[in-house]
């Protein structure tokens, strides 16, 4: 039996985490985006059954419920569509979502739906959130993202579960390069059968992956470096379509190698700040809950925090960014682009506060006083224009 055929038997820890992240993002996304007054489509592009065989809910139920709750709590007259695309398990999906009257169920492939959506909404000022959670990579032709981004939509955001190792393994097979070793035999997201190098190029949006695999094959780089380099370049391709892309490695505890990459792409600074903060909090809470209950995820997956990331100390990065004075919001965005969701917004602000206290950073606020006439020490960039610049003092660790 193919591993994917077992996927819906029981919801695995990693699926639970993904869904928690999606679920925590939906209410603030709807609250934020509804202010645009433009219609909203949330599309679950690889929807699945809706409910796992063990009774646990999947992404379609979370999306449908979030839309329902938003509509029942808000009087804003705005069209919000939940679109769910699934071919193989369409009947199950239909049965599981039938109580949500306003859901659109599509008995087709993601590829066909993208074409149809693009032709029907070419000049429609719509907001689109795509949740893209396939088994592997074979359906992820980059041209679909290009097609959607070339439309005149009001906004587009993508949350993508990207199986980077699956891609590289398939690449090894096609190029006749020795395969990556995997110590994770439980992985269900494998064996894609893409079957041609040109199709792989179409997924990666380039041939850069072939050079990376040649370097790996010649022993110049490790598989860990190959995966990192491949993802960096894939993210760069996405940055040709989106202003901001956050890339979150989901690392297996045993090997500390990323199993997957959760990638979020948006054109909105606020979207980026919101999703990074939500994901960071959700992940930490989930990790603590699982740790408390000695659940599987705690043993399976590393939280990408300071213990598991390979980037420089955050204060050093802040110091480097501040070689040019920065608005607080712009500084936070740059930190998220470097560190992903490793730090919540409040943690990043806490670093800035410490640096201000130690004289390493000078902060000016406009207005400089609170409504009560006191000197403001606020870190709320929505209320104040907050500019940070390097101070006189500088510890050795910053250099
Ligand atoms: C990883 S599962 C999705 C799990 C789901 N997000 C959840 O949380 O419950 C991937 C699903 O995509 C479906 N699928 C495979 N190829 C597809 C395609 N070309 N278009 C749409 N769905 C597809 C599979 O049948 C499977 O149900």
The model's pLDDT over 169-196, given as tens digits with 9 standing for 90+, comes to 899 989 998 776 655 544 544 556 777 9
Choose which residue among 7, 135, 190 to substitute to test ligand 1 binding: the one with the highest number of ligand atoms within 8 A of its C-beta: 135
- The atom number, within ligand 1, closest to the CA of 161 reads 1
Torsion of CA 234, 81, 74, 27, to 10 degrees: -30
| Beta-bridge partners for 42 | 82, 129
Dmax over Cα atoms in the chain, in whole Å? 71
- The atom number, within ligand 1, closest to the CA of 88 reads 25
CA of 133 to the centre of ligand 1 (A): 7
Choose which residue among 26, 47, 59 to substitute to test ligand 1 binding: the one with the highest number of ligand atoms within 8 A of its C-beta: 47
User: What pLDDT, on the 0 to 100 scale, is given for residue 185?
Assistant: 46
Low pLDDT (below 50) residues in the chain: 185-186, 188-189
CA of 180 to the centre of ligand 1 (A): 25
Token pair of 188, please? 């269900």
- The atom number, within ligand 1, closest to the CA of 52 reads 9
| Beta-bridge partners for 250 | 260
Q: Say how many CA atoms lie within 13 Å of 35 toward its Cβ.
A: 4
Phi, psi of 204 (to 5 degrees): -80, -15
What pTM, to 2 d.p., does this model score? 0.90
- The atom number, within ligand 1, closest to the CA of 44 reads 6
CA of 104 to the centre of ligand 1 (A): 16
CA of 161 to the centre of ligand 1 (A): 11
CA of 242 to the centre of ligand 1 (A): 24
User: What pLDDT, on the 0 to 100 scale, is given for residue 278?
Assistant: 84
User: What pLDDT, on the 0 to 100 scale, is given for residue 189?
Assistant: 47
Q: Is residue 242 within 8 Å of residue 149, measured between CB atoms?
A: yes
367: preceding bond cis by omega (within 30 degrees)? yes
User: What pLDDT, on the 0 to 100 scale, is given for residue 325?
Assistant: 97
CA of 87 to the centre of ligand 1 (A): 8
- The atom number, within ligand 1, closest to the CA of 19 reads 8
CA of 2 to the centre of ligand 1 (A): 15
List, in order of start, the domains of the chain with CATH numbers: 3-302 (3.40.50), 314-398 (1.10.10.10)
CA of 48 to the centre of ligand 1 (A): 5
Q: Is residue 301 within 8 Å of residue 259, measured between CB atoms?
A: yes
By alpha-carbon position, which residue is closest to atom 14 of ligand 1?
Answer: 46
- The atom number, within ligand 1, closest to the CA of 59 reads 8
CA of 60 to the centre of ligand 1 (A): 11
- The atom number, within ligand 1, closest to the CA of 110 reads 20
SS3 per-residue string spanning 204-215: HCCCHHHHHHHH
CA of 135 to the centre of ligand 1 (A): 7
Q: Is residue 175 within 8 Å of residue 230, measured between CB atoms?
A: no
Long-range contacts of 210-215 (CB under 8 A, 24+ apart): 210/171, 210/175, 212/168, 213/168, 213/171, 213/172, 213/175, 213/177, 214/175, 214/177
Residue list, ligand 1 pocket, CB within 6 Å: 7, 15, 19, 46, 48, 58-59, 85-89, 109-110, 133-135, 139
By alpha-carbon position, which residue is closest to atom 9 of ligand 1?
Answer: 58
Choose which residue among 10, 134, 166 to substitute to test ligand 1 binding: the one with the highest number of ligand atoms within 8 A of its C-beta: 134
């Amino acid at each position: 039996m193919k591993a994917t055929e077992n996927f819906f038997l029981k919801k695995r820890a990693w699926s639970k985490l993904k869904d928690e992240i999606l679920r925590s993002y939906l209410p603030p996304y709807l609250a934020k985006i509804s202010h645009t007054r433009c219609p909203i489509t949330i599309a679950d592009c690889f929807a699945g059954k809706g409910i796992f065989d063990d009774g646990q809910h999947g992404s379609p139920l979370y999306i449908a419920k979030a839309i329902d709750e938003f509509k029942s709590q808000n009087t804003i007259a705005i069209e919000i569509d939940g679109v769910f695309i699934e071919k193989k398990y369409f009947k199950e999906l239909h049965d599981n979502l039938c109580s949500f009257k306003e859901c659109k169920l599509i008995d087709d492939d993601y590829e066909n739906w993208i074409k149809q959506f693009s032709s029907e909404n070419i000049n429609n000022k719509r907001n689109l959130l795509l949740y893209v959670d396939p088994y592997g990579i074979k359906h992820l032709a980059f041209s679909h993202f290009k097609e959607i981004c070339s439309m005149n939509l009001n906004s587009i955001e993508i949350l993508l579960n990207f199986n980077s190792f699956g891609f590289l393994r398939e690449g090894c097979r096609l190029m006749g390069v020795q395969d990556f070793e995997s110590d994770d035999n439980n992985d269900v997201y494998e064996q894609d059968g893409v079957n041609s190098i040109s199709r792989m190029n179409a997924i990666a949006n380039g041939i850069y992956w072939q050079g990376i695999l040649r370097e790996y094959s010649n022993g110049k780089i490790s598989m860990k470096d190959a995966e990192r380099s491949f993802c960096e370049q894939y993210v760069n391709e996405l940055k040709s379509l989106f202003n901001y892309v956050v890339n979150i490695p989901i690392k297996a505890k045993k090997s500390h190698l990323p199993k997957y990459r959760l990638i979020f792409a948006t054109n909105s600074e606020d979207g980026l700040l919101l999703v990074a903060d939500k994901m960071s909090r959700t992940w930490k809470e989930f990790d603590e809950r699982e740790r408390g209950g000695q659940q599987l995820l705690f043993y399976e997956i590393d939280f990408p925090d300071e213990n598991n990331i390979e980037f420089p100390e955050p204060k050093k990065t802040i110091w480097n960014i501040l070689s040019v004075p920065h608005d607080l919001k712009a500084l936070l965005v740059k930190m998220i682009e470097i560190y992903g969701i490793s730090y919540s917004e409040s943690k990043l602000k806490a670093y800035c506060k410490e640096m201000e206290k130690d004289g390493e950073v000078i902060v000016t606020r406009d207005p400089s006083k609170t409504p009560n006439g006191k000197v403001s020490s606020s870190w709320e960039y929505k209320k104040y224009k907050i500019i940070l610049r390097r101070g006189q003092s500088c510890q050795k660790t910053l250099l």
